[in-house]
């Protein structure tokens, strides 16, 4: 069933919480563009013993400003802009199995629109599917979904002035245990790397998924263009339909 397969894909969508795309202001599902690069000038290194605390602080700083976010992985790619302080975001997603999709979040409301045949099969056509996902699609304190991964970190160390590396236990992230059964203990020691900018903000977080399945490759979340303005508007009522329960469940991050 299409909706069941999409619900499974919802596990991957959790990794792109807080994403959004740029475009023209004041149009439904669009945001103001901003092309300023993030500042990454040099800063002094801190002791290795402070690595975990510094990385935690860098992730927490993602809650302070709007930003451009990009996700690259074998399962899904996405790009966009998010403003966690205003609980707004817009994302353009490319799902290899299902094609392209657009996601819009304003407050506790979420809309998703699938291009082409998938949208027709789901009964939405070219309309936005609405769901009240609350904190599921974009937690206020975790705009990029990385904090959830950080809670699974087993060890972390400094690699140079503003770089980190370590391992994390992916079984602690809430992923369905059945999806990790074949990987066994390998899923408990996934390598990761991370980097921060001169302001102490996280700029990249890369997780190596190959111990779980070689075809998964790596998943990288990148953050830049901090402070870029984000202005979104809700789709017109005539352009929306209510999302099927399976889709709402997938996008809420609940047990896919």
The chain-wide mean pLDDT, for the chain, equals 74
Helices 245-252 + 2-13 axis angle, to 10: 20
Highest mean pLDDT among 99-103, 163-167, 175-179: 163-167
Length in residues, the chain: 256
DSSP β-ladder status, 128-131 and 240-242 = parallel
Q: What is the pLDDT of residue 240?
A: 92
For the segment 234-253, the average pLDDT, to the nearest whole number, is: 82
CA angle 172-175-181, nearest 5°? 90
Task: Check pLDDT > 90 for residue 192.
Answer: yes
pLDDT tens-digit series, residues 43-60? 334 444 589 889 989 988
Which residue shows structure tokens 């451009």?
68
pLDDT over 70, % of the chain: 68
Q: What is the pLDDT of residue 212?
A: 86
Cα 221 to the center of its chain, rounded Å: 7
DSSP β-ladder status, 67-72 and 218-224 = antiparallel
pLDDT tens-digit series, residues 61-109? 888 899 998 888 887 888 888 888 888 888 888 877 667 888 888 888 8
The fold adopted by the segment(s) 2-252 is: outer membrane lipoprotein receptor (LolB), chain A (2.50.20)
Q: What is the pLDDT of residue 184?
A: 84
Q: What is the pLDDT of residue 117?
A: 66
Confidence of residue 137 (pLDDT cuts 50, 70, 90): low
């Amino acid at each position: 069933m299409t909706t069941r397969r999409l619900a499974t894909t919802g596990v991957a969508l959790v990794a792109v919480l807080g994403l959004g795309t740029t475009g023209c202001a004041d149009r439904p599902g669009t945001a103001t563009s901003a092309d300023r690069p993030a500042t990454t000038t040099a800063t002094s290194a801190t002791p290795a013993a402070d690595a975990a605390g510094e990385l935690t602080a860098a992730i927490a700083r993602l809650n302070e400003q709007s930003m451009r976010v990009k996700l690259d992985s074998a399962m899904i790619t996405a790009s966009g802009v998010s403003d966690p302080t205003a609980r707004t975001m817009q994302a353009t997603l490319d799902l290899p199995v299902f094609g392209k999709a657009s996601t819009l979040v304003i407050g506790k409301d979420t809309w998703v629109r699938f291009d082409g045949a998938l949208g027709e099969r789901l009964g939405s056509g070219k309309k936005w599917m609405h769901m009240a996902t609350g904190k599921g699609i974009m937690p206020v304190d975790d705009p990029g979904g990385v904090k959830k991964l950080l809670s699974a970190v087993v060890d972390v160390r400094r690699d140079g002035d503003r770089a980190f590396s370590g391992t994390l236990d992916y079984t602690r992230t809430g992923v369905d245990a059945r999806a990790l059964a074949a990987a066994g203990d390998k899923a408990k020691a996934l390598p990761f790397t991370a980097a921060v900018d001169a302001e102490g903000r996280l700029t990249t977080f890369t997780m190596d998924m190959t111990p779980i399945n070689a075809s998964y490759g790596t998943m990288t979340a990148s953050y830049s263009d901090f402070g870029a303005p984000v202005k979104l508007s809700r789709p017109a009522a005539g352009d929306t339909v209510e999302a099927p329960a399976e889709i709402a469940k997938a996008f809420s991050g609940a047990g896919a």
